[in-house]
Each structure stands twice: as C-alpha cells, then as structure tokens.
Amino acid sequence: MADNVWFTEFQTDDVTLGLRVKAVLRQETTPFQELLVLDTDAYGRVLVLDGAIQTTDRDEFVYHEMMAHVPLSLHPHPRRVGIIGGGDGGVLREVLKHPEVEEAHLVEIDERVMAASRDFFPALSVAFDYARAHLHVTDGIRFIQEAAAKFDVIIVDSTDPVGPAEGLFGPAFYQSVFAALGEDGIVVAQSESPLLEPELVKKVQRGLRSAFPTVTLYLGAVATYPTGLWTFGLGSKKPLATPRQVSGLDTRYWTAEVQAAAFVLPPMVRELME
Amino acid sequence: MADNVWFTEFQTDDVTLGLRVKAVLRQETTPFQELLVLDTDAYGRVLVLDGAIQTTDRDEFVYHEMMAHVPLSLHPHPRRVGIIGGGDGGVLREVLKHPEVEEAHLVEIDERVMAASRDFFPALSVAFDYARAHLHVTDGIRFIQEAAAKFDVIIVDSTDPVGPAEGLFGPAFYQSVFAALGEDGIVVAQSESPLLEPELVKKVQRGLRSAFPTVTLYLGAVATYPTGLWTFGLGSKKPLATPRQVSGLDTRYWTAEVQAAAFVLPPMVRELME
C-alpha cells in the first residue's frame, strides 16, 4: 500500500488521531459494527470498531493489565470472573495470569471481533483456548441478567457508549451487575477521558453509585485513546481492602505500586466524582 | 474561518494529532522558528512552534504545574530559580506561586514567543510583570554558562530537540547547569514520550547522569503531547529528600500526593532509565 495512506480517528468532532497505514488487513461490516484491522508504522496492528481504535499491538498491555489486575488483586478470592465485551481477548489473557481464577467467562456480542483477533492478534487471542476460558457469543446485558452462578469480579471492556455498547453505561446495567456478583463482588468499567469526555466519566460514576456502596476510579496511560489519560470506574460491594499480594504476573505497566499510584487523583479528575 | 480548517501536528512521521481550527490568530516566521497561535474548538488557544504544539489553554496547567512544583518542593530553600525556555510564561507563573522564591529568571531566546503570550495567553503571561520576575531575551546555553550567582532550581522548558533547543539535550549543557546550581541544586527538564520517543527519554537521562549524582524521572499526563504520557528528567546534587510541605498553591493537577505518585514508574518507563 502506498506510503501516504492514513487512518484518521475522530476522537471528538474537533480532535483527530492519524496513523500512517502500511496495510488494511481486514475491513468488514459485521452485524453490529464496522470492523477494521490495520497494520501501522507507529503502533503495529490496530483494531478499529466503528471508527474508534480499540487496541494496538504496541500499547495494548497498559489497558488490559489495568483492567484485569486492579480488580483481581482487590478481591479476596477471585475464582469466577466475567468479562463483558473484550472480544479481542486481551483482558482474558491478563485475567488468566492469576492462578486462583478457576473460570473466566468472556461475553462478546460480535463473533467477528473474536475472529479478527484470532486471525491478526495472536498475542491477544492466545487465551481463547485455555481450559479455564469460557467464550459466550451473546448480548452481555442479557448474559448478566440471566447469570445463574455469581461472579467474583466483572470487567466491562466495552466500546464507547454509542452503538452496541450504549446499554453498558446506564444504571440498569450496573444494577444487574450488582445482582450477578457475589458478596465481595467488584466491577470495573472503562470510563473514558477526563479531559475530553468529563460527562461520560461522571455518567459511569453515577451509574455505579446507583448500585454499589463503594465507588471510585483509577487512571491509566493508554497512548492511543483520546488524551492518553484513561479512567476506569470501580464499584465494590464491600469497602476496598488493601490489595492482595500477587506476583509473577509478567507485566509491562501494572505493578502493585503503579496500582496504588493509579488511585491518586489530580483535582481535575477528583472533581468528576462528586 | 470555515468549519473545516484543521491544524495537523506530525507527532512523528507516522502519527498525527488534528485539531479543528476556529481562527488563526498569529502566523509568523521569527528569527528562530515558525510561530502559530490558533483558536481551536477542543483546546482553546494553542501555541505552536515549528509545527509542534507547545501549550494550550485547556491542558497547560498539567505541564506547568509539574515542571514547577516538583523541583521546588524537593529543594529545601528555593530562593533563586532559572527557567530556560518557557517563553509563554506558564512555568514562571507556577514558580512564583511559591512565596519563598525571591527571583525567577526566565531565559527565552525568542522574544516573539513572549510577545505572542502577552497578546493571546493572558493566563500564561500574567507573571511577566511581577516584581520577582526577571526576563532575559538571550540564548539559554550562554546564559547558564555565564551565570554569576548560583541558582537553587533550574527548569528546562524547551521545545523538542530539533531547531533552537537541540543544544539543551546534550551532556555539555547539563554540565553547565550543574555548575550554575548551588549545593542543593536541582534541575528538571521536559524529556518527551516514553512510548513514542524512548531514545530521547534515555538521552536526557544519560545527559543528566553525566553531570548529576542523583538522576530520576517522573510522569505527567499532558493531553496534547504525543501519547499523552510525558516524562520529566530530574537531576540533583544531593540525594532527594522528602518534599517540603507546600500549601495554598491553587493547582488543578499537582498535589503532594500526585507528585509522589508521579515517581512510581511502570516497567515500560523504568527500563528507559538503565
């Protein structure tokens, strides 16, 4: 492909991120969204859904490590974990680094996302075939509503709150998540950029508070997400205890110390929690 | 101006940031660089030098607070502060929030940057006329080499290491900085993005180590800088002590706790310090 092919993401109506494209590896309309897999000079392979970058070879570890290890180390015994969305498999891979996790259930509405990950992101989809991984191609909202057994941790790895993920940002969903969690249950949901999307950060905080007595948020530095500073909303049935010591995780961003620092919020972020 | 005017920054050859432009307020070729002042929908007014965003109304506080308050709170008695570059005045404004600072010397090579700040960034240039502010329009390298009195803290608020700022990234400069500092002297220098410019992060670390016995780095989340995650290299003549308690600073990003968290480095950053 010519050197001057560019992918342009509209992060808002007024801000774009552009990536020089080496090759378009897949471009398809799934039953749920537009799916694009690119090979880029700066970030390696990039998964794009409805025009928004979901993950890239080069910075995926930050998001996936922070989505998985924070709630898992805060839960006293995370045996059964649910992942809503996250069809690329990155969060699943990180969750299954914890030996105490007996089952991880990945609930992805769009089978084509999982297919793209199997075909182009071997480092992300590596855990799909692990014995402890259970893959469900279905609507995450209904899955959570109908869950028979309780989860210890639920991780909401959704796209932005437009299109298929819209229902994952409202109070009704967080209330079903509460009901699907066991007594020490913890939920984490990606919750957008504090500087560019403060209203969405607040919306997730409000939604979590409508269901959970303990609600907070933490930060991570995801290069290809708008502004590079990302929030993760966290709800817990119990007050948060000191994280369990977990070791041997082989991470490039997360450490126990980085986790503690991620909860130290600048005033510009704290003000979105009120 | 039409709705579809865009400013495009090449963050690298392969990555761009685009901002929708409401108006071009100034566009000039100074003796040192191309200077552009834009009004944008997303970030308000934006100062651009040689195509690279220097600061914006909306996120300037992060960079300026982290450049100023970290070294000033780590120094036992910061009375005399030098700022190399930083002609917009943002670091000067933050430095002069500390009542114990008796003189702050701003050394900007390009008078037109200061003029643009006076004309378009009143919140940044506000401190230019304070009695404790001393403005020097001259080459920062020579200024530091010829400094008669010693500085307690020197802050290197440079552009990227191409064009006028190139000499501010080499060992020779850090050695003159060492010589210009008093016995508890501390220097801080902006040192680029760990994910997109790891070699520059390493270069600043190496340069600082060529002169200072204690060298480290810390992080800040600057939305309009490449990847949003920024490093600040720090060199100190003495081992770093617990920061002094400073209060009443009226900040939106920096707090004493955020400062402590900024030194907690993910493995992906720590590996650049070796």
- Cα B258 to the center of its chain, rounded Å: 18
Q: Do A20 and B41 touch (CB under 8 A)?
A: no
Same domain, residue pair B238 and B156:
yes
Determine the residue among B227, B230, B258, B259 to mutate to test chain A binding: the one whose Cβ has the most chain A Cβ atoms within 10 Å. B227
At A176, the amino acid letter reads S
B50 lies in which domain range? 6-56
Number of domains in chain A: 2
Question: How buried is residue B244: exposed, middle or buried, by Cβ count under 10 Å (0-12/13-18/19+)?
Answer: middle
Candidates B136, B88, B144; CA nearest to B116 is B88
Q: Are residues A25 and A132 in the same domain?
A: no
| Residue B1 scores a pLDDT above 60 | no
* Global model pTM greater than 0.90: yes
Residue B137 lies in a domain: yes
The per-residue pLDDT for range A229-264, each reduced to its tens digit, is 999 999 999 999 999 999 889 999 999 999 999 999
B8–chain A Cβ distance below 8 A for any pair: yes
| Coil vs helix vs strand at A100 | coil
- The H or E element spanning position A61 is helix A60-74
* Residue type at position A247: S
- Using an 8 Å CB-CB cutoff, list chain B residues near A58: 195
How high is the pLDDT of residue A112? Answer: 98
Same domain flag for A47 and A170:
no
Question: Which chain B residues contact residue A18 at CB under 8 A?
Answer: 8, 15-18
Q: Are A70 and A46 contained in the same domain?
A: no
User: Do B221 and B189 form a contact (C-beta atoms < 8 A)?
Assistant: no
From B8, B44, B53, B80, select the one nearest B225 (Cα to Cα): B53
Q: What is the CATH number of the domain that holds B146?
A: 3.40.50.150
* Maximum CA extent, chain B: 56
Model ipTM value: 0.94
Confirm whether B59 is a catalytic residue. no
Residues 6+ apart with CB under 8 A from A234: A70, A71, A74, A186, A187, A188, A208, A215, A216, A217, A218
Task: Provide the token pair at A131.
Answer: 């014995």
Whole-number pLDDT of residue A2: 56
Decide if A129 contacts A103 (C-beta within 8 A). Answer: no
- Do residue A88 and residue A166 come from a single domain? yes
CA distance A207 to chain B (A): 25
Closest CA of chain B from A8, distance in Å: 9
What does the H/E/C string look like for A159-176?
CCCCHHHHHHHCHHHHHH
Flag whether B94 is in a domain. Answer: yes
Q: Hey, which residues 41-80 in chain A have their CB within 8 Å of chain B?
A: 41-42, 58-59, 61-62
Would you call A254 and B266 a contact, using CB atoms and an 8 Å cutoff? yes
In a domain, B165, yes or no: yes
Of B19, B195, B223, the CB nearest to A229: B223
Structure confidence at residue A170 as a pLDDT band (50, 70, 90): confident
- Please name the residue ranges forming H helices in B148-226: 171-180, 198-209
Does B27 score more than 70 pLDDT?
Answer: yes
Q: Within this chain, do residues B108 and B17 fall inside the same structural domain, yes or no? A: no
- What H or E segment, with its residue span, contains residue A258? helix A256-262
Whether residues A115 and A131 fall in one domain: yes
Residues B198 and B201: their CA atoms lie apart, in Å, by 5
Query: Which CATH number characterizes residue A34's domain?
Result: 2.30.140.10
C-alpha angle with apex A45: A43 to A47, nearest 5 degrees?
A: 105
**Residue A77 counted as domain residue:** yes
Question: Which chain A residues touch B39 with a CB distance below 8 Å?
Answer: none
Please give the average per-residue pLDDT across A188-211, as a whole number.
Answer: 94
Asked if residue A70 and residue A44 are part of one domain, the reply reads no
A15 inside domain = yes
Q: Tell me how far apart the alpha carbons of residues A273 and A214 are, in angstroms, rounded to a whole number.
A: 12
Report if residue A67 sits inside a domain. Answer: yes
Whether A107 and A135 share a structural domain: yes
Are B104 and B13 in a shared domain?
Answer: no
pLDDT higher than 60, residue B2: no
Residue B1 lies in a domain: no
The answer to whether B129 touches B112, Cβ cutoff 8 Å, is no
Which among A15, A61, A228 is the nearest to B19, CB-wise? A15
Residue B41, C-beta contacts closer than 8 angstroms, at least 6 positions apart: A13, A14, B19, B20, B22
Q: Which of B14, B33, B56 is the last residue of a domain?
A: B56
Pairing status of strand B15-29 against strand B34-40? antiparallel
- Note whether residue A1 is domain-resident: no
Comparing CA positions, the residue from A81, A93, A83, A159 lying closest to residue A121 is: A93
- Tell which of A22, A268, A269, A272 to mutate to test the B interface (max B CBs under 10 Å): A268
Percent above pLDDT 90 for chain B: 92
From chain A, pick out residues whose CB is under 8 angstroms from the CB of B262.
Answer: 261
Same domain, B185 and B90: yes
Question: For the segment B116-148, what is each residue's pLDDT rounded down to a tens digit?
Answer: 999 999 999 999 999 999 999 999 999 999 998
Strand B15-29 and strand B6-12: the pairing is: antiparallel
Segment B177-228, tens digit of pLDDT: 999 999 999 999 999 999 999 999 999 999 999 999 999 999 999 999 999 9
CA-based end-to-end distance of chain B: 49
Which chain B residues are within 8 Å of A15, Cβ to Cβ?
17-20, 42
Strand partners, A52: A49
Mutate to test the interface with B, among A264, A269, A271 (most CBs of B within 10 A): A264
Same domain, A221 and A164: yes
SS3 B224: coil
**CB-based contact (8 Å) between A3 and chain B?**
no
- Of A33, A56, A79, which closes a domain? A56
CB contact A255 to B (< 8 Å): yes
Which entry of A59, A88, A110, A157 is annotated as an active-site residue? A157
> Does an H or E element contain B104, and which?
strand B103-108
